[in-house]
Amino acid sequence: MGEPRLPGTYLKEKEMYQLPGIVEHRPDAKYSFSAGQAVSRFLEGLKQGRILGKRCPRCGRVYVPPRSYCEYCFAPTAEWVEVSGEGEVNTAVVSYISTFRERLEEPEIIAVIRLYAPGYTGKKDEYEFPGIFHKLCGVKPEDVMSGRVIGMRVRPRWKPPERRVGSITDIECFEPVEG
Amino acid sequence: MVARPNIHVKSKVAIVGAGLTLFRRRMLETPRELAWEAARMALEQAGLTLRDIDCVVVGSAPDAFDGVHMKGEYLADGAGGIGRPTVRVFVGGGTGVFVPIAAWWHVASGLCRSVLAVAEEKMSPAHPHPQGVFAYIWDPILERPLGPNLIWIFALEMRRYMYKCNVPKETIAKVSVKNKRNALDHPAAQAAAKITVEDVLKSEVLVWPVQRLDISPVSDGAAALVMVNENEARRVTDSPVWVEGVGWTLDNTHWYNRELAYPRYVNYAARMAYKMAGIERPWKEIDVAEPYDPFDYKELHHIEGLMLARRCEAPKLLEEGWFDRDGELPTSPSGGLLGVGNPIAAAGLMKVAEIFWQLRYEAGARQVKKPVHKGVAQAWGDLMQAATVVVLGV
């Protein structure tokens, strides 16, 4: 590529703050999000300690969390189904950092849970499945690293009813099913 | 679900020039100054001036990084877009390779004879860390309340890939070692280094299995291409590089309801591009590849999605040196995002530029050992869902 030296001027952090006219700005924006037709009812279910999904009447796909429409059939998912909340760990990791990359004192275990739902076949190679993204408790980081956690049977640990507000955090975490 | 593209285009499309700025963590230049530097270099290499350009395509990833909304409009003057049909395209991390795809259809349709395709990204302004900006890509109702960090999703995908394909971390770390080593020969490189697998495994654990040296850095930078129709190409150069196929696909944002070990969307995009290029056996017909490597495991993941290896076979081939610069199918000879740096949209376009230089035998110390006639560049983006693929040939 014939160019000995490419354009662009690197600044060290100190140099950056010595530049004239550095402007700092922190956006102050607050949003209120509505959860929509399907997920509002899902959140209402969580408040009652229930996990709800929807089934597409055309192809039979079960969506947990629920969706108002089937993206394949492009038809309304008219039928509600309830699942037990039990499932198996699809993948899990150990987080040592916060959203803004600060070091956490206690690592958290994060997982994708594949839920037992109508149509569950037990096959391990399905591309799509009803599932939830949440935290795991009652397992150690070493269990995640060794791979012992993957495939483990888990269930939701609910907050007490009086502390539930209709949020994904009404589930405290997913924990191993004993035995 | 693979798209069936109409391959009857009005004109073939060639790349005739490429430009690049340095990739660095913090740059003095404003985003549009960076865009201008890359655009001017691409024009110069093509032997053209802005007067020769009909249309402009600009690409940049989320506005929140530069901290300027309407980034397309903001970048327009630096990208040569004033008074011309100019458009900004965006598919998250896939944007960099989407820029030449959009430029391709501008020219292939007969609408424009020549396009300046420019990608820019300045990630460094966001504080305390650009990681925070990624908080806004998560679903506000079902994901953000868990306090996610962007690296979570990569770690979950990497862990799933390791499980499904039975790959140890030591093997995956070799991608980082290879790409950072390749980048030692790249004049734009920010994170070139001679490191060992040990170094990767000893680096700070962020979200296990992801460690500091598994990830590309925070970068500022810009890249540009000049793309023209067949007549223009024959007029301005003896060595045009043809865009033989383009493909792109979006999957849904419901990433935790999908198998993460295999990128279906990359495969669909690749099949679309190969079909257009008349490629039936990419693992034999592609000579050099630039798969997207923001994380080391992603290069392997994408090699499989691009059908350059069978499923779960990429780690084994990597161990055998198959993907080294002197290997059977060199991948990321540039040094990739892991080595050159990751100014998001600019990094994707840098990959296309690398294939352009490789096919013209202009890559200098980075030139791969084997003879090259066809190459593929690919980028990925968003919640494990966007794929953009370009096949180039001479």
ipTM: 0.94
User: Does any CB of chain B come closer than 8 Å to the CB of residue A12?
Assistant: yes
Three-class secondary structure assignment of A71-115: CCCCCECCEEEEECCCEEEEEEEEEEECCCCCEEEEEEEEEEEEE
pLDDT number for residue B315: 98
Q: Is the residue at B165 inside a domain?
A: no
Radius of gyration of chain A (CA): 22
Q: Is the pLDDT of residue B241 over 70?
A: yes
pLDDT number for residue B102: 98
Distance CA B27, CA B215 (A): 21
Residues B266 and B387 sit within 8 Å (Cβ to Cβ): yes
- Please state the rounded mean pLDDT for residues B58-86: 92
DSSP 8-state symbol, B91: B
**Segments forming the whole domain that contains residue A111:** 36-176
**Segments forming the whole domain that contains residue B98:** 13-126+217-393
Q: Is the pLDDT of residue B4 over 80?
A: no
pLDDT number for residue A179: 63
Q: What is the pLDDT of residues A63-96, one digit of tens each?
A: 999 999 999 999 999 899 999 999 999 999 999 9
Distance CA B176, CA B181 (A): 8
pLDDT number for residue B126: 87
How far, in Å, are A82, B328, B346 from residue A39 at the CA level?
A: 14, 50, 37
- Angle between helix B169-182 and helix B150-165 axes, rounded to 10 deg: 120
**High-pLDDT (> 90) share of chain B, %:** 91
pLDDT number for residue B68: 85
Chain A nearest-CA distance from B111, in A, is 30
Q: Is the residue at A67 inside a domain?
A: yes
Q: Is the residue at B67 inside a domain?
A: yes
Residues B42-45: contacts with CB under 8 Å, at least 24 apart? B42/B17, B42/B18, B42/B116, B42/B118, B42/B224, B42/B225, B42/B226, B43/B17, B43/B19, B43/B80, B43/B116, B43/B226, B44/B17, B44/B19, B45/B16, B45/B17, B45/B18, B45/B19, B45/B226
Distance CA B256, CA A143 (A): 21
CB–CB contact B256 A128 (8 Å): no
- Please state the rounded mean pLDDT for residues A18-23: 88
**High-pLDDT (> 70) share of chain B, %:** 99
Which secondary-structure segment (H or E) carries A40?
helix A36-47
Chain B nearest-CA distance from A84, in A, is 17
Q: What is the pLDDT of residues B245-300, one digit of tens each?
A: 999 999 999 999 999 999 999 999 999 999 999 999 999 999 999 999 999 999 99
User: Does any CB of chain B come closer than 8 Å to the CB of residue A73?
Assistant: no
Look at chain B and report how many structural domains it folds into. Answer: 1
- Please state the rounded mean pLDDT for residues B317-324: 98
Q: Is the residue at A3 inside a domain?
A: no
Q: Is the residue at A88 inside a domain?
A: yes
Q: Is the residue at A168 inside a domain?
A: yes
Q: Quick one: closest CA in B to A141, which residue?
A: B208
pLDDT number for residue B1: 61
Q: Is the residue at A146 inside a domain?
A: yes
Q: Is the pLDDT of residue A2 over 60?
A: no
Q: Is the residue at B207 inside a domain?
A: no
Q: Report which of B382, B291, B378 is spatially closest to residue B338, judged by C-alpha positions.
A: B291
Q: Is the residue at B204 inside a domain?
A: no
Residues B276 and B5 sit within 8 Å (Cβ to Cβ): yes
Q: What is the pLDDT of residues A38-56, one digit of tens each?
A: 999 999 999 999 999 999 9
CB–CB contact A8 B22 (8 Å): yes
CATH number at residue B311: 3.40.47.10
Residues of B in Cβ contact (< 8 Å) with A95: 149, 151-152, 155, 206-208
Q: Is the residue at B190 inside a domain?
A: no
Look at chain A and report how many structural domains it folds into. Answer: 1
CB–CB contact B221 A8 (8 Å): yes
User: Does any CB of chain B come closer than 8 Å to the CB of residue A44?
Assistant: no
Q: Is the residue at A41 inside a domain?
A: yes
Residues A154 and A174 sit within 8 Å (Cβ to Cβ): yes
Q: Is the residue at A161 inside a domain?
A: yes
Q: Is the residue at B381 inside a domain?
A: yes
Residues of B in Cβ contact (< 8 Å) with A100: 128-129, 131-132, 135
Q: Is the residue at B134 inside a domain?
A: no
Residues of A in Cβ contact (< 8 Å) with B146: 110, 133-135, 168-169
